[in-house]
């Protein structure tokens, strides 16, 4: 895969220092998603960081699913996550793990904590626990069950595992410090009763470990050297270290926090993305307007562009919001290099070249990528009737309009020079057909007498072109920070999707594979839809415009 040159950042500085000082002979990282939803653009930063650091320092990166909440997890989500990691260009090789792989060991470590007086079974209600936890300015109060004997705690915990108690009857808590200024250390829950089948372990467990307890132990069991996570876990680091300090684990990984990726004009909250899908505000998790990796992939975002974007925005300890235009620029740059050019007409009006033979279809050579001869050429059909964009013709053109108009000559790209002679209109006065004459001596668009023609327009042959559905996508929200609003639904962009049912495309696109990216010349970058495109039905999604028109349009709206 194409790999952007790594940029220096504080995490790389730490890794390099650790390797240089001999603290580690080889780094081991992990990407640890919970299989309870679909990955979004924010997760891409963590994927690229963890797998990228392992790649750049000849280390290893594990894919591990922290599957400790069976009520919200599924095989569907797990498979989707694995597919997204591979699509981004990374491989975990044989290192594919689950927290549930360690359920027995996690249980045994909990017993170890009980035996050493570091954990106890608490029988308070959830409301009592919350009230006794304290606040940021007030210390918590000890549970009345905090001083149960080791024997009683071991007995109750064994019965919890055996399924004797209802959900919520008891929890296992770490015994740390109810007066700690860090609320995460105020005897956090490490096991709770959940009489729910797990998607991997079935009904074999009635108790499940909490994330904060599971995560650090899983890291240690896998020999992780650098546990990289986002800033919201910074206050959890003392708990991460405390758990490992109490247990006979094979190593003690170092947790390092970085700022998560936030983009304007979008949301990454799982709850809000879930609402968009289940309220029918988008067509699904892979809707091309969604910030999910499935949605970005369907829209046509190249994985290399996402990797470059993650590298370009870098790593910091300060939370900032990145402009969507930065991501779109990375997409444009990648597609400019790698997408072949074709011609398409989205708002067609017919042009009849009256002096061109009615039964002739010529095959004209056209460059697949004018900037890169290695892409070669294709043949495009030219006929008496062609389609052009309606906006490329004006009956009364203003100054500075260099496209087709009555009496004016323009160049049909790769074709001929044509001159408009007259038009046909319908009862409403709309132009329905434009009549032209062509100059047979200008095949390829070059005039033998070197006469100057300022306008060049694209076209599609009516004889050989195909019809297609084209979907024009734009940003899902019309304000920069929709997540900060009470009801983000009120700020959905009504123009985020526009469907053109009968666009005209050149014939070469009839065989385009789902997911194939192209540039529609003068119009933007598009891809064949992964779900709906087929040999019998052409469906193309606009990935991104040729230039950043959003900022200019927003300026006009403001």
Tokens for 181, please give them: 């200024």
Q: How far apart are CA 317 and CA 323, in angstroms?
A: 18
Tokens for 204, please give them: 């074999």
**DSSP track, 261-295:** PEETT----HHHHHHHHHTTSSS-TT-TTSSBHHH
425 is catalytic: no
Q: How far apart are CA 316 and CA 260, in angstroms?
A: 9
How many other β-carbons are positioned within 10 Å of the β-carbon of residue 17?
10
34 is catalytic: yes
Q: What is the dihedral of CA 305, 306, 311, 315, to 10 degrees?
A: 160
How many other β-carbons are positioned within 10 Å of the β-carbon of residue 115?
13
The answer to whether residues 309 and 326 touch, using CB atoms and an 8 Å cutoff, is: yes
Q: How far apart are CA 326 and CA 331, in angstroms?
A: 9
Q: How far apart are CA 10 and CA 172, in angstroms?
A: 37
**DSSP track, 157-181:** HHHHHHT-S-TTS-EEEE-S-TT-S
270 is catalytic: yes
Cα–Cα–Cα angle for 491, 493, 499, nearest 5°?
155
Q: Which residues contact 236 (CB under 8 A, 6 or more apart)?
A: 184, 212
Tokens for 220, please give them: 């240690």
Q: Which residues contact 75 (CB under 8 A, 6 or more apart)?
A: 35, 199
Given 95, 133, 260, 522, the catalytic residue: 260
Of 272, 217, 263, 265, nearest to 240 (Cα)? 217
H-assigned helices in 88-146: 103-115, 126-132
Given 159, 270, 350, 522, the catalytic residue: 270
Of 332, 311, 333, nearest to 322 (Cα)? 311
Given 30, 34, 409, 506, the catalytic residue: 34
* 52 alpha-carbon distance from chain centroid: 17
Catalytically active residues, by annotation: 34, 260, 270
């Amino acid at each position: 895969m194409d790999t952007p040159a790594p940029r220096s950042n504080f995490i790389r500085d730490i890794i390099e220092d650790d390797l240089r000082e001999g603290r580690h002979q080889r780094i081991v990282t992990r990407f640890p998603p919970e299989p309870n939803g679909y990955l979004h653009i924010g997760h891409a930063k963590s994927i690229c960081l963890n797998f990228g650091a392992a790649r750049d320092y000849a280390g290893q990166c594990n894919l591990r699913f922290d599957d400790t909440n069976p009520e919200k997890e599924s095989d569907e989500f797990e498979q989707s996550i694995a597919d997204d990691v591979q699509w981004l260009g990374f491989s975990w090789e044989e290192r594919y793990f689950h927290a549930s792989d360690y359920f027995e060991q996690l249980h045994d470590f909990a017993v170890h904590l009980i035996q050493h007086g570091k954990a106890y079974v608490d029988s308070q209600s959830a409301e009592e626990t919350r009230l006794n936890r304290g606040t940021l300015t007030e210390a918590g109060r000890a549970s009345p069950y905090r001083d149960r004997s080791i024997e009683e705690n071991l007995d109750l915990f064994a019965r919890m595992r055996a399924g004797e108690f209802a959900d919520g009857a008891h929890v296992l808590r770490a015994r740390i410090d109810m007066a700690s200024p860090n609320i995460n250390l105020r005897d956090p829950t490490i096991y709770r009763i959940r009489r729910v089948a797990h998607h991997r372990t079935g009904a074999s467990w009635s108790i499940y470990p909490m994330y904060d307890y599971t995560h650090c132990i899983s890291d240690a069991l896998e020999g992780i050297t650098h546990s990289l996570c986002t800033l919201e876990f910074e206050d959890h680091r003392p708990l991460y270290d405390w758990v490992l300090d109490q247990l006979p684990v094979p190593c003690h990984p170092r947790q390092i926090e970085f700022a998560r990726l936030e983009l304007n004009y979008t949301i990454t909250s799982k709850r809000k993305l879930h609402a968009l899908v289940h309220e029918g505000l988008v067509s699904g998790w892979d809707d091309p307007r969604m910030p999910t990796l499935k949605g970005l992939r369907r829209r046509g975002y190249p994985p290399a562009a996402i990797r470059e974007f993650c590298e370009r925005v870098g790593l910091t300890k300060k939370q900032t919001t990145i402009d969507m235009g930065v991501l779109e620029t990375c997409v444009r740059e990648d597609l400019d290099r790698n997408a072949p050019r074709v011609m398409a007409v989205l708002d067609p009006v017919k042009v009849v070249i009256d002096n061109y033979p009615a039964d002739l279809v010529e095959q004209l050579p056209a460059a697949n990528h004018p900037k890169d001869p290695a892409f070669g050429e294709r043949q495009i059909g030219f006929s008496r009737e062609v389609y052009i964009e309606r906006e490329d013709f004006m009956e009364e053109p203003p100054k500075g309009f260099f496209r087709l108009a009555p009496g004016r000559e323009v160049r049909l790209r790769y074709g001929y020079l044509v001159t408009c002679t007259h038009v046909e209109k319908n009862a409403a006065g709309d132009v329905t057909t434009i009549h032209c004459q062509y100059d047979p001596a200008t095949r390829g668009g070059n005039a033998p007498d070197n006469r100057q023609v300022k306008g060049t327009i694209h076209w599609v042959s009516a004889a050989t072109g195909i019809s297609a559905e084209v979907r024009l996508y734009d940003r899902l929200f019309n304000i920069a920070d929709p997540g900060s609003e009470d009801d983000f639904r009120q700020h959905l962009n009504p123009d985020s999707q526009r469907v053109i049912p009968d666009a005209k495309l050149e014939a070469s696109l009839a065989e385009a594979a789902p997911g194939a990216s192209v540039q529609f010349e003068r119009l933007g970058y598009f891809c064949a839809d992964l779900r709906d495109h087929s040999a019998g039905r052409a469906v193309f999604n606009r990935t991104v415009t040729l230039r950043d028109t959003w900022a200019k349009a927003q300026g006009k709206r403001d």
